[in-house]
Structure 1
């Protein structure tokens, strides 16, 4: 560590800038890409109901835990956890930083797909794009749709857009908090909200909008009762992922805050916007998918591209609506990506005294290289995603919750009270929420994630190695 060569840290110019950055971090591919197909796989409204419960039970207490760690130390996750706990806790911080590093490597490739589909709206009709794969794209054969998607998702185009997306991300982060991230999110996040509102109004006019709303908004409790072992961990994981927990984003962003800020109020605003935007995405995606004749319960990671693009060919002005939709997702992806890169960049700035632009370029370059295999074969997307999302993300988040809830509870309550005042019994309720429901949910999710990853390695990945050896 080169702590003797400290580089001056940035701060937020305005409260609005901080809130928009944190909202933008949460409202990325986790909400606009992952949320719709997770909801479809989970049974629609049944999943949505459980997801909203976990946002309240897990999300709000956890976001406050990350906030107090970041603001109290004014450090990146490694330095923050070391200072709050002890020297050994820096390894927990390293796990958090590594999680963001891994996630952004494949996240960039996925974001590149959305950029490509956005530009497709300018250069060609979606009907022409799908003419060869119309039956698979309509959702009649999800396996076939995935095979066709894999042909489009890898190769030179994927590499080019992965490169473009990472270059944009590095450029914004290199400019700093005030001149880069804050300026960018003040443009991107309001634009994202306006575009989604417009798309939701348009989606309400589609012929199958009523059926879509019934699927999305009227939960069948029998589904929850019979499939709770699948719905509960999936909803808990989505809640944690969508808010941006476990990647050090909220620790890092809070490290640029002053002590006069009401962290509970800020956390409620961020979660409120994040949840509202995720909900809004469902009001757009499901009417489009069902009106296009696809099955909303069969929307795998690649199949959703085909279902949406096929649906856009079935509706009036679908080409331009598709262009707006994919552009909206690309904006959301960029707002999240700059947040994740900022975590790794702040680590080099704080711990090694490296200048911001060099830190952003170095970390961005490493992330870019790690993502290259994903542009070659989608098996590497699963390899990275399952490990980073289902294991590292949850494990790192669990360690932070244990530190705050069990190791330093008195310090945590005192830090949270700055900018709020005496919390009284509410402080104890928050700590016990971290100690019991949050920790239990994360332990169960981690155990399930490890089992899923072992299954993937011994079956899917082993088969791929055999086929390519």
Structure 2
């Protein structure tokens, strides 16, 4: 549970039309996300390895390239993820300096101009550095002393603070329009925009559930055979999706109460909109500090997962000590993210490639491996901790083999088309202006 739930979910939902996107997203999580997370679980626990070693052990030497793609995906996502987390740290610090109303006045009352100045430059660079150092420090401590201890503290805090914000948002005048926008889907809108909604929902689902990047394979490799993987999958998906849904219940009523139109601010939307809201509504200063501080907690909980994937690869395959592996991989990821602190076009470049292409491609290949190449081994592994699945196990395999593969193939095609369009228009235009 991290930035995918709190930073990315609101602006992607806004761009998708609110309830129309939410409907498609929830369907995707339930019908695609759950079977897919089980596929990654069985590979991780059966092999007891990092993504590269796990895929080689499960599917053969050819699959090391797919495992390598997972490592690359983790690199790409954490590189820009760290910069975005730095933005939340900055907005948290801005609240400590004074009321959000007074801070916005420093930028001429323009929250968009405020975001434009704070999101790039020296401050963004320094906070990107700080966040990577924090992440490396936690991962270097190991699973129980670092990752498990941190998450046990951070996740309950996140749920309590978000729940409080959602309850408060319910009391706002004008907030009912936000609920209507967020919770009342128009199916004619979904039918008219499915070619955009489907890849966006796929990218968001896999981003927030950490699928297609080796995270679930890595964590499952630490589980004992007595664990019920189906229960674990339901728990993870339930909490993760619940946090995203809860974020929407807090954010969209605030948007409408403050007269803000969702879906127009892109990656900076939650900063522009929430800062404007916190600057204009009663009690906004304290709530703003709580909100941005909560998201920093959420960001750390996810960043340590991403770094653990690449760290475990270096530990398993290269025999490097944990702290050296975490520091070395963190340094490379840090350097990849530095251009994002210079211009946000690099955020779109990295985010679009990771979410629209790499994540969906990774999940697509996992479904082929589990569904077609080694299905019985997957069923046998899933039954450990559950018992005989009978026909349910075979149903799961056939769901992976056909409907999920078809949906992922369509999502991947649309995602690639969208990314190529971005490269040929927005990014090419930026290159033409700056080179």
TM-score higher than 0.5: yes
How many pairs does the alignment contain?
435
- Structure 1 residue 403 corresponds to structure 2 residue 403: no
Q: Is 1:334 aligned to 2:300, yes or no? A: yes
The answer as to whether partners of 1:288 and 1:308 remain within 8 angstroms in 2 is: yes
After the TM superposition, which residues 8-407 of structure 1 pair with which residues of structure 2 at under 5 Å, given as runs? 27-131=1-105, 137=111, 145=112, 149-407=115-373
> Would you say the 8 A contact 1:30–1:238 is kept in 2?
yes
Q: Determine the structure 1 residue equivalent to 2:431.
A: 465
The aligned counterpart of 1:17 is none
TM-score, normalized by length of structure 1? Answer: 0.90
Q: CA contact under 8 A between 1:58 and 1:240: conserved in structure 2?
A: no
Within the alignment, does 1:424 sit opposite 2:424 as a pair?
Answer: no
In structure 1, the residue corresponding to 2:236 is in which secondary structure?
A: helix
> Matched residues in 1 for 2:178 and 2:126: separation?
36
**Deviates most, 113-122 or 299-308:** 299-308
Which moved further from structure 2: 401-410 or 338-347?
401-410
Preserved contact between residue 199 and residue 415 of structure 2 (Cα < 8 Å): no
CA distance in 1, matches of 2:263, 2:224: 45
User: Does the 8 Å CA contact 2:44/2:221 hold for their aligned counterparts?
Assistant: yes
Structure 1 CA distance, aligned partners of 2:116 and 2:279? 21
Write the distance in 1 (CA, Å) between the matches of 2:357 and 2:186.
30
Give the Å deviation of 1:348.
0.3
Counterpart selection for 1:437 from 387, 394, 403: 403
Take 1:234 and 1:258, find their aligned partners in 2: how far apart are those partners?
35
Q: Deviations over 1:154-187 (max 9, x none)?
A: 1110011101100100000000001000000000
Determine the C-alpha separation between the residues in 1 that align with 2:428 and 2:19.
Answer: 36
Instruction: Write the distance in 2 (CA, Å) between the matches of 1:70 and 1:64.
Output: 10
Q: Distance in 2 between matches of 1:414 and 1:261?
A: 13
Cα-to-partner distance string for 1:132-175 (whole Å, 9 max, x where unaligned) = 666754xxxxxxx3x76333211110011101100100000000
Return 385-394 or 255-264, whichever deviates more: 385-394
CA contact (8 A) 1:345 1:359 kept: yes
Q: State how far apart, in whole Å, the 2-side matches of 1:45 and 1:371 are.
A: 33
Greater Cα offset, 37-46 or 159-168: 37-46
Deviates more, 1:215-224 or 1:78-87: 215-224
Residue in structure 2 matched with residue 22 of structure 1 by the alignment: none
Gaps of 5+ in 1: 1-26, 138-144
**Per the alignment, in what secondary structure is the counterpart of residue 193 of structure 2?**
helix
Residue 50 of structure 1 and its aligned partner are, at CA, apart by 1.3
How far apart, in 1, do the equivalents of 2:228 and 2:21 lie? Answer: 32
1:370-391: per-residue Cα shift (whole Å, max 9, x none)?
A: 1111111111111111112211
- The 2-side partners of 1:32 and 1:86 are apart by 38
Gaps (5+ residues) in structure 2?
none
Query: 1:43: how far off?
Result: 1.3
> Is the 1:78–1:93 contact (alpha carbons within 8 Å) kept by the matching residues of 2?
yes
Give the structure 2 partner of residue 10 of structure 1: none
- Secondary structure of the residue that 2:42 maps to in structure 1? helix
1:4 matched to which residue of 2? none
- Runs of 4+ in structure 1 deviating by more than 4 angstroms, as ranges, are 132-136
